Amino acid sequence: MSKPLVLPALTRFVSATAGRNMTTAAYVAVIVGVAMMTLLTVAPAYDAVPHWVDALLWACLAYFVFEWLVRVRHMRRQDKFWFYQLSSAGIVDAIGALAVPLALLAGIEPKTAWLLGVLWVLKVVPGIPGLRQLRRVLVVESGPLLSVLVIFLMVVFLASVAEYFLERDVQPQTFGSVPAALWWAVVTLTTTGYGDVVPITPLGRIVAAMVMISGLGVFGLWTGILATGFAAETRRDNFLRTWETVSKVPFFAHLGPAAIADVTQVLRTMDLPPRTMIIRKDTNGDCMYFVAAGEVEVDLPGRKVKLGEGAFFGEMALLGNAKRGASVSTSKVTKLLVLDLVDFRLLMARHPDLAETIDAEAKRRELENQ
C-alpha cells in the first residue's frame, strides 16, 4: 500500500471523530491558531519571537488540513462525501483547511493571508451547546423579528435624510451626504453613540432625541419577542429530553399517559461523571432523584448500598425531613432525573397513586435501615 505508515494511529483517531463534535486537539488548535494570528499583527510582539509564531501558525494549518483530508477519506469510504461536504461542518472544515493556502497561492501578502485564520473560530460553531435551541427561536419568531428589522431600517432612512437636510450646511464635514447621515443614524438608533458625528442644530437634536427614544423601543420589541420565543422553546426542549428518559424508568412505567406527560413536564435531566457527590449528609435537601442510567452508591452507616437504573433516592427530603440522612455519589457515568420539592408537591396532589408508591418504598427503606 502506498499510504504513509507513520500516521495510521492519528488517522484512526481523527476518523473516529468525523461524526460531529470537536476533539480537544481541535479546540487547542483553534485557540493557538487564532492567538498566533492576532500576535502576527502586533509588531513588537511578533518581532520578538517571529519564528515561533510562524511555526505555530503552520502547525495549526497543517492540523486542520490533515483533519479535513482524513475526514474526507473517511466519508468517501462510507459514500457520504457530498453529504459531508455540503453540511455546515464540511463547509467549515474545508474553509479552515483551504482559505489560508489558497490566499497564499493567490499571491496575497502573507501577513494578510494569515488573517483568514480567523475563520477557524467557525469550527467551534457545531460544538456550541444551546445553538439548536437558539436557531429554533430565531426561526419561529422570524416574522416579528423581521418586522422590527424593517421598521428599524425605515427609521434609519427617514431620520438620516432629515438630519442630512438639517445639518448639511452647518457640518458639511460629517453630515455632507446621506450615507454619512446613515452612519450617524445606525450609531444612534442602536444607542451606541460614538460621538464622532453629532447633530448641533436645535431641530437636528430634536430629531436625534426621537431616534434615540425609538432605539429604546426597537430594543424593547426585539427583547420582548425573543423572550417570548425563548420561554416556549425552553419548555419544549426540556420536555423532549426528559420524556425519553422517563419512559425508561420502571417506576413510571405503569403510569397512564396523562401522568407521564405531567411527570415529564416537571423533571429535569442531569448527566454526571463517576465519583461525583450528589447528596452530602446533613445538608438541606429540596429535591429527589431517579436513576435513569448508570449507578449510584448510598453511604449508609457501616455499609454501602448500590442503586441501579430505575431506583430513586433523596425522597426523604420531600416527605418532611429536610436534612439528608446519607451521602450519595455516582459510581459510573450516571443520568439522573431531578424532581424538585415544588413540583413534587403539585404532582402528588394530582396523582395520589404516585404518592403512595413513593411513601411505601420510603417506609420499607426506613425499616430496612433500622
> What are the grid coordinates assigned to 253, written together?
412505567
Q: Output 81 or 222, the one with its CB closest to a copy of itself.
A: 222
As to burial, measured by CB atoms within 10 angstroms (0-12 exposed, 13-18 middle, 19+ buried), residue 98 is middle
- Which one of 91, 105, 341, 360 is in contact with a copy of itself (CB under 8 A)? 341
Residue 267 CB, shortest distance to a copy of itself, in Å, is 14
Residue 11 CB, shortest distance to a copy of itself, in Å, is 28
Q: Output 88 or 190, the one with its CB closest to a copy of itself.
A: 190
263-282: contacts with a copy of itself (CB under 8 A): 264
20-79: contacts with a copy of itself (CB under 8 A): 34, 37-38, 40-43
As to burial, measured by CB atoms within 10 angstroms (0-12 exposed, 13-18 middle, 19+ buried), residue 131 is exposed
Residue 209 CB, shortest distance to a copy of itself, in Å, is 4
Residue 307 CB, shortest distance to a copy of itself, in Å, is 25
Q: Output 306 or 350, the one with its CB closest to a copy of itself.
A: 350
Q: Output 116 or 298, the one with its CB closest to a copy of itself.
A: 116
What mask, x for binding a copy of itself by CB under 8 A, covers residues 227 to 256? xxxxx--xxx--xx--x------------x
Does residue 321 interact with a copy of itself by CB under 8 A? no
Does residue 187 interact with a copy of itself by CB under 8 A? yes
281-300: contacts with a copy of itself (CB under 8 A): 286
Whole-Å CA distances, 368 to 60, 313, 336, 365: 60, 14, 24, 5
Cα angle 299-304-306, degrees, rounded to a multiple of 5: 100
95-134: contacts with a copy of itself (CB under 8 A): 112, 115, 118-119, 121-122, 124-125, 128-131, 133-134
Whole-Å CA distances, 366 to 73, 162, 321: 60, 79, 12
Q: Output 116 or 307, the one with its CB closest to a copy of itself.
A: 116
184 near 197, Cβ under 8 Å?
Answer: yes
Does residue 182 interact with a copy of itself by CB under 8 A? yes
Tell the residue number behind the cell numbers 459510573, with chain if given.
Answer: 332
Whole-Å CA distances, 332 to 2, 245, 276, 295: 44, 17, 9, 6
What whole-number distance in Å separates Cα of residue 358 and Cα of residue 318? 10
What whole-number distance in Å separates Cα of residue 366 and Cα of residue 218? 59
Residue 305 CB, shortest distance to a copy of itself, in Å, is 27
